[in-house]
Amino acid sequence: MESMKEIRIHGRGGHGVVLGSEIFVSALIKEGKFASCFPFFGVERRGAPVFGFVRFDERPVRQKDQVYYPDCVVVMDGTLFKAVNIYQGVKENSTLVVNESRSIEELTIPANVRRVGLVDATRISLEKIKTFIPNTAMLGALCRTTGWVSLGSLVKSVSESFDRKIRQKNIEMLERAYEETKIFERGEDGKWR
Protein backbone atom coordinates (compact mmCIF):
# COMPACT_ATOMS: atom_id res chain seq x y z
CA MET A 1 0.00 0.00 0.00
CA GLU A 2 1.29 3.43 -0.94
CA SER A 3 1.80 5.58 2.16
CA MET A 4 3.44 8.65 0.61
CA LYS A 5 1.15 11.66 0.39
CA GLU A 6 1.65 14.45 -2.13
CA ILE A 7 0.24 17.96 -1.85
CA ARG A 8 0.26 20.68 -4.50
CA ILE A 9 -0.29 24.21 -3.22
CA HIS A 10 -1.48 26.90 -5.62
CA GLY A 11 -1.02 30.54 -4.73
CA ARG A 12 0.31 33.80 -6.04
CA GLY A 13 3.56 35.58 -5.31
CA GLY A 14 3.13 37.26 -1.92
CA HIS A 15 0.63 34.71 -0.51
CA GLY A 16 3.29 32.88 1.49
CA VAL A 17 3.20 29.59 -0.46
CA VAL A 18 6.87 28.82 0.19
CA LEU A 19 6.78 29.62 3.91
CA GLY A 20 3.46 27.79 4.31
CA SER A 21 4.96 24.66 2.72
CA GLU A 22 7.99 24.86 5.01
CA ILE A 23 5.81 25.28 8.13
CA PHE A 24 3.71 22.25 7.16
CA VAL A 25 6.83 20.13 6.59
CA SER A 26 8.29 21.27 9.92
CA ALA A 27 5.09 20.18 11.70
CA LEU A 28 5.16 16.78 9.97
CA ILE A 29 8.80 16.25 10.99
CA LYS A 30 7.92 17.12 14.61
CA GLU A 31 5.53 14.15 14.49
CA GLY A 32 8.22 11.75 13.27
CA LYS A 33 7.34 11.75 9.58
CA PHE A 34 9.75 12.22 6.70
CA ALA A 35 8.83 15.23 4.58
CA SER A 36 10.16 17.60 1.96
CA CYS A 37 8.92 20.64 0.09
CA PHE A 38 10.01 22.95 -2.67
CA PRO A 39 8.48 25.76 -4.68
CA PHE A 40 8.07 26.33 -8.39
CA PHE A 41 8.06 29.89 -9.64
CA GLY A 42 6.91 30.84 -13.12
CA VAL A 43 7.43 34.57 -13.39
CA GLU A 44 9.01 35.73 -10.15
CA ARG A 45 6.84 38.70 -9.27
CA ARG A 46 4.16 39.53 -6.76
CA GLY A 47 0.79 38.26 -7.96
CA ALA A 48 2.11 35.70 -10.45
CA PRO A 49 1.01 32.06 -9.98
CA VAL A 50 3.31 30.08 -7.68
CA PHE A 51 3.25 26.38 -6.80
CA GLY A 52 4.44 24.66 -3.67
CA PHE A 53 4.97 20.92 -3.48
CA VAL A 54 4.97 18.81 -0.32
CA ARG A 55 5.63 15.10 0.03
CA PHE A 56 5.61 13.10 3.25
CA ASP A 57 5.80 9.49 4.30
CA GLU A 58 6.69 7.17 7.16
CA ARG A 59 10.03 6.48 5.40
CA PRO A 60 12.55 8.83 3.78
CA VAL A 61 11.26 10.86 0.85
CA ARG A 62 13.80 10.90 -1.95
CA GLN A 63 11.62 12.14 -4.81
CA LYS A 64 12.35 15.82 -5.57
CA ASP A 65 10.39 16.56 -8.74
CA GLN A 66 7.09 18.43 -9.03
CA VAL A 67 3.89 16.84 -7.75
CA TYR A 68 2.02 15.75 -10.87
CA TYR A 69 -0.58 13.48 -9.21
CA PRO A 70 -1.54 15.09 -5.89
CA ASP A 71 -3.54 13.46 -3.13
CA CYS A 72 -4.48 16.98 -2.04
CA VAL A 73 -4.66 20.37 -3.75
CA VAL A 74 -4.62 23.60 -1.75
CA VAL A 75 -5.87 26.77 -3.47
CA MET A 76 -5.00 30.03 -1.70
CA ASP A 77 -6.81 32.31 -4.16
CA GLY A 78 -9.98 31.48 -6.10
CA THR A 79 -8.85 33.59 -9.08
CA LEU A 80 -6.29 30.86 -9.80
CA PHE A 81 -9.04 28.60 -11.19
CA LYS A 82 -9.06 30.87 -14.27
CA ALA A 83 -5.26 31.16 -14.46
CA VAL A 84 -4.04 27.54 -14.13
CA ASN A 85 -5.44 24.01 -14.33
CA ILE A 86 -5.89 23.42 -10.60
CA TYR A 87 -7.20 19.89 -11.04
CA GLN A 88 -4.54 18.60 -13.43
CA GLY A 89 -3.49 15.09 -12.39
CA VAL A 90 -5.51 14.92 -9.15
CA LYS A 91 -5.82 11.35 -7.94
CA GLU A 92 -9.04 9.47 -7.49
CA ASN A 93 -10.56 10.18 -4.05
CA SER A 94 -8.41 13.28 -3.64
CA THR A 95 -8.89 16.25 -1.33
CA LEU A 96 -9.34 19.92 -2.17
CA VAL A 97 -8.73 22.71 0.35
CA VAL A 98 -9.77 26.11 -0.98
CA ASN A 99 -9.95 29.72 0.16
CA GLU A 100 -13.58 30.35 -0.74
CA SER A 101 -16.56 32.29 0.59
CA ARG A 102 -19.10 30.64 -1.75
CA SER A 103 -21.03 27.51 -0.85
CA ILE A 104 -20.03 24.03 -2.05
CA GLU A 105 -23.06 24.01 -4.38
CA GLU A 106 -21.73 27.07 -6.23
CA LEU A 107 -18.43 25.37 -7.09
CA THR A 108 -17.61 23.08 -10.00
CA ILE A 109 -15.49 20.25 -8.62
CA PRO A 110 -14.45 17.17 -10.64
CA ALA A 111 -15.77 13.74 -9.66
CA ASN A 112 -12.37 12.42 -8.56
CA VAL A 113 -12.31 14.93 -5.66
CA ARG A 114 -13.97 13.18 -2.74
CA ARG A 115 -13.34 15.59 0.16
CA VAL A 116 -13.40 19.40 0.24
CA GLY A 117 -12.43 21.88 2.94
CA LEU A 118 -13.74 25.44 2.47
CA VAL A 119 -12.54 28.42 4.48
CA ASP A 120 -12.73 32.16 3.92
CA ALA A 121 -9.02 32.74 4.47
CA THR A 122 -9.24 36.13 2.74
CA ARG A 123 -11.59 37.47 5.41
CA ILE A 124 -9.56 35.93 8.25
CA SER A 125 -6.32 37.37 6.87
CA LEU A 126 -7.75 40.86 6.34
CA GLU A 127 -9.30 40.91 9.81
CA LYS A 128 -6.21 39.64 11.62
CA ILE A 129 -3.27 41.21 9.77
CA LYS A 130 -5.01 43.82 7.58
CA THR A 131 -3.51 42.40 4.38
CA PHE A 132 -4.03 39.35 2.17
CA ILE A 133 -1.43 36.76 3.12
CA PRO A 134 -3.50 33.59 3.58
CA ASN A 135 -0.77 30.98 4.19
CA THR A 136 -1.25 30.32 7.92
CA ALA A 137 -5.05 30.35 7.59
CA MET A 138 -4.83 27.83 4.76
CA LEU A 139 -2.56 25.62 6.90
CA GLY A 140 -5.31 25.53 9.52
CA ALA A 141 -7.82 24.51 6.85
CA LEU A 142 -5.44 21.86 5.46
CA CYS A 143 -4.91 20.45 8.95
CA ARG A 144 -8.64 20.30 9.70
CA THR A 145 -9.60 18.83 6.32
CA THR A 146 -6.96 16.09 6.11
CA GLY A 147 -5.94 15.30 9.70
CA TRP A 148 -2.44 14.56 8.37
CA VAL A 149 -0.78 16.64 11.08
CA SER A 150 -1.95 17.91 14.46
CA LEU A 151 -2.92 21.50 15.14
CA GLY A 152 -0.48 21.52 18.07
CA SER A 153 2.48 20.69 15.83
CA LEU A 154 1.43 23.40 13.38
CA VAL A 155 1.16 25.97 16.18
CA LYS A 156 4.72 25.09 17.28
CA SER A 157 6.01 25.38 13.70
CA VAL A 158 4.25 28.73 13.18
CA SER A 159 5.77 29.97 16.47
CA GLU A 160 9.24 29.09 15.23
CA SER A 161 8.70 30.69 11.81
CA PHE A 162 7.65 34.23 12.73
CA ASP A 163 9.21 36.91 14.87
CA ARG A 164 7.53 38.02 18.07
CA LYS A 165 5.68 40.95 16.44
CA ILE A 166 3.54 38.82 14.13
CA ARG A 167 3.77 35.36 15.71
CA GLN A 168 0.56 35.60 17.76
CA LYS A 169 -1.56 36.95 14.89
CA ASN A 170 -0.43 34.09 12.65
CA ILE A 171 -1.24 31.53 15.34
CA GLU A 172 -4.68 33.13 15.71
CA MET A 173 -5.20 32.96 11.92
CA LEU A 174 -4.20 29.28 11.93
CA GLU A 175 -6.51 28.38 14.82
CA ARG A 176 -9.44 30.44 13.57
CA ALA A 177 -9.27 28.91 10.08
CA TYR A 178 -9.04 25.46 11.66
CA GLU A 179 -12.28 26.15 13.56
CA GLU A 180 -14.10 27.79 10.63
CA THR A 181 -13.25 25.25 7.91
CA LYS A 182 -16.33 23.50 6.54
CA ILE A 183 -15.66 19.93 5.39
CA PHE A 184 -17.71 18.15 2.75
CA GLU A 185 -17.61 14.53 1.57
CA ARG A 186 -18.99 13.42 -1.79
CA GLY A 187 -21.42 10.52 -1.41
CA GLU A 188 -21.81 7.61 -3.82
CA ASP A 189 -24.71 9.54 -5.39
CA GLY A 190 -22.35 12.46 -6.16
CA LYS A 191 -24.00 14.78 -3.62
CA TRP A 192 -21.99 16.71 -1.00
CA ARG A 193 -22.61 16.00 2.67
pLDDT of residue 47: 73
As its CATH architecture, domain 5-185 has: 3-Layer(aba) Sandwich (3.40)
pLDDT of residue 190: 87
pLDDT of residue 39: 80
pLDDT of residue 44: 57
Distance CA 70, CA 67 (A): 6
Distance CA 42, CA 12 (A): 10
What SS3 string covers the chain?
Answer: CCCCEEEEEEEECCCCHHHHHHHHHHHHHHCCCEEEEEEEECCCCCCCEEEEEEEEECCCCCCCCCCCCCCEEEECCCCHHHHCCCCCCCCCCEEEEEECCCCHHHCCCCCCEEEEEEECHHHHHHHHHCCCCCHHHHHHHHHHHHCCCCHHHHHHHHHHHCCHHHHHHHHHHHHHHHHHCEEEEECCCCCEC
Tens of pLDDT along the chain (193 residues)?
358 999 999 999 889 999 999 999 999 999 999 999 988 765 556 678 888 999 999 999 988 888 999 999 999 998 898 888 999 999 999 999 999 999 999 999 999 999 999 999 999 999 999 999 999 999 999 999 999 999 999 999 999 999 888 999 999 999 999 999 999 999 989 899 9
Distance CA 65, CA 187 (A): 33
pTM higher than 0.75 for the full model? yes
End-to-end, the C-alpha distance of the chain in Å comes to 28
